[in-house]
Each structure stands twice: as C-alpha cells, then as structure tokens.
Amino acid sequence: MAHKREPGTLYVVATPIGNLGDITVRALEVLKDVELVLCESTKETKSLFHKLGINTSVLALYKDHSESPYANVIEQLKQGKSMALVSDAGTPGVSDPGSQMVRIAREHRIPIVPVPGASALTGILSVSGFQVNPTYFLGFLSEKPSKKRRELEKAREIDGLIVFYESVHKLPRLYPILEELFPETEVLVGRELTKAFEEVLYYANPRELAEKPPNAKGEFVFLLNHRKKSLKGNSESTDM
C-alpha cells in the first residue's frame, strides 16, 4: 500500500545502520513525501539522501533547553506541515537526541507515527539463539568508568538478556568490568552490523572475550546471556 501523507504529522523514520539496502519501501516513500526532515547531522542525512535519490529539505535538530523547545517546528506542524525525524543511523529516539522532539510533539498533541526499520538491538537479539524474554536494554553505557560500572552492577540483578552499545575506544575499560561482574556469562558481540565487514562473535565468558577480542574498529553492540544456568540453551520461543 502506497504511503499517504497525513498533514501535521511527525513520522519517526528508521534509516540504515550500515547496509543501504536496509531502508524500507515505506521509509523511502515517507522521506520523499514529507515537507521537512529533522535530523542529527545535515551532512550525514544529505549524504544518505543523495544515495537514495531524496531531495527533501533537512533541518538539524539540536537539544533545545529553552522554555518552549522547538517552538518553530511545533508551530509548523500545527499549521499542517508534515515532517520526518531521523537519526544519523538506525531508529530515532533509541540512542540519540530525538526523544526530546517526540516528547514535545506529544505534549502539543501532534500525531506521531513510527516507521520502523534497521536496529542493532533487534539485529543482535535475532541471531542470539537465546530466549529474549526479558531483555534489559541499556543503550550506550556511560562515558564515566565509575558510572559505567554501576550501570552494569544494576543490570546484574536481572535474570535475562542484557544488551548495550559501546564506543570502540572504550572497549579496553569494558572488558575487565565484564570479567569481574559476569565471570560465567555468555557474550555475543555484534560489530559493524549490516555493513560489509559485519561480525557476530560468540564467547563462552568475558575471559575469552578479553583474550581474543574483536577487531577494535567500527560500531559495537554487546549481548550478555545473564540467565540462570538451567535456562541456558533453552530455545523455546514465546513469539506469536
């Protein structure tokens, strides 16, 4: 079914995280049809649009600390202008500033429509082979080592999967913390998901990860199978 643009609507559109082919037909239709695309970086978004043959105007959306955040954008939406919100890669509002725009739009009763697509979170879950209920998603871990440790200590309290993103230059500090807090936990590492040099690596425990770490280049997503040992290897699915 072809996309029908609704006036005064904010579309939250997922863009590819690596492979250009991950863009959905619906996302293409929306991005071509709306009157303005709100983005993290105009440079990144214009580059993507050039490859996809999209000519829609773009506007960089920074975190707004004013008393009336995004007042101009909200006013245009209220007047019937349709817009899309994108991040540099992946789904807006998951690990980027887009959540503030969505929250403000909702406060002003602007219709908000998700246009889902590529996601490192669902990507790593889909190839884990583990029962995914429950999954605890941490997004990007804190930049501060002490806070990073506290975040993982809190995550250790759950009985399920723990998923988080980590920047490449912080990996050396991460491995010792995982060894200490999750010594017997299975680890799945996704590196450069959907890109040309994609890797999904399995480690029986963090010690193996530290001894033979992945190539320290690119974007990383980590999955810890922090379930009781009796549940490990259980392939039962609750998917409907």
Does residue 233 form part of some domain? no
Each of the 240 residues of the chain gets a pLDDT tens digit; together they read 556 668 899 999 999 998 999 999 999 999 999 999 999 999 999 999 999 999 999 999 887 778 888 999 999 999 999 999 999 999 988 767 688 999 999 999 999 999 999 999 999 999 999 999 999 999 999 999 899 999 999 999 999 999 999 999 999 999 999 999 999 999 999 999 999 899 999 999 999 999 999 999 999 999 999 987 644 444 444 444
Distance CA 99, CA 103 (A): 6
**What does the block give as tokens for 115?**
């246009």
Contact of 59 with 101, CB cutoff 8 Å: no
Contact of 132 with 125, CB cutoff 8 Å: yes
Distance CA 232, CA 217 (A): 30
Which of 65, 98, 115 is at the close of a domain?
115
Kindly give the residue spans of alpha helices, DSSP state H, lying in the chain. Answer: 25-33, 42-52, 71-78, 98-107, 120-126, 145-155, 171-181, 206-211
Identify whether residues 90 and 135 lie together within a single domain: no
Per the structure, the complete domain to which residue 35 belongs is given by 10-115
Identify whether residues 222 and 124 lie together within a single domain: yes
Which of 63, 95, 115 is at the close of a domain?
115
Q: What pLDDT shows up at residue 231?
A: 42
Q: Which residue has the tokens 């250790």?
A: 156
Contact of 16 with 23, CB cutoff 8 Å: yes
The candidate with the shortest Cα–Cα distance to 91, out of 59, 120, 113, is 120
Contact of 149 with 175, CB cutoff 8 Å: no
Identify whether residues 111 and 124 lie together within a single domain: no
Identify whether residues 205 and 159 lie together within a single domain: yes
Q: What pLDDT shows up at residue 240?
A: 41
Which of 83, 98, 115 is at the close of a domain?
115
Distance CA 55, CA 46 (A): 9
Strand-pair category, 199-203 with 186-191: antiparallel
Distance CA 105, CA 77 (A): 9
Identify whether residues 77 and 36 lie together within a single domain: yes
Q: What pLDDT shows up at residue 229?
A: 60
42-52 and 25-33 helices, crossing angle to 10° = 110
Identify whether residues 129 and 74 lie together within a single domain: no
Identify whether residues 125 and 208 lie together within a single domain: yes
CATH number of the CATH domain containing 188:
3.30.950.10
Q: What pLDDT shows up at residue 65?
A: 79
CATH number of the CATH domain containing 81:
3.40.1010.10
Contact of 57 with 35, CB cutoff 8 Å: yes
Contact of 58 with 39, CB cutoff 8 Å: yes
Identify whether residues 71 and 152 lie together within a single domain: no
Identify whether residues 158 and 71 lie together within a single domain: no
Distance CA 210, CA 106 (A): 44
Q: What pLDDT shows up at residue 227?
A: 87
Identify whether residues 176 and 162 lie together within a single domain: yes
Distance CA 40, CA 47 (A): 13
Counted domains in the chain: 2
Does residue 240 form part of some domain? no
Identify whether residues 125 and 214 lie together within a single domain: yes
pTM for this entry: 0.86
Identify whether residues 181 and 163 lie together within a single domain: yes
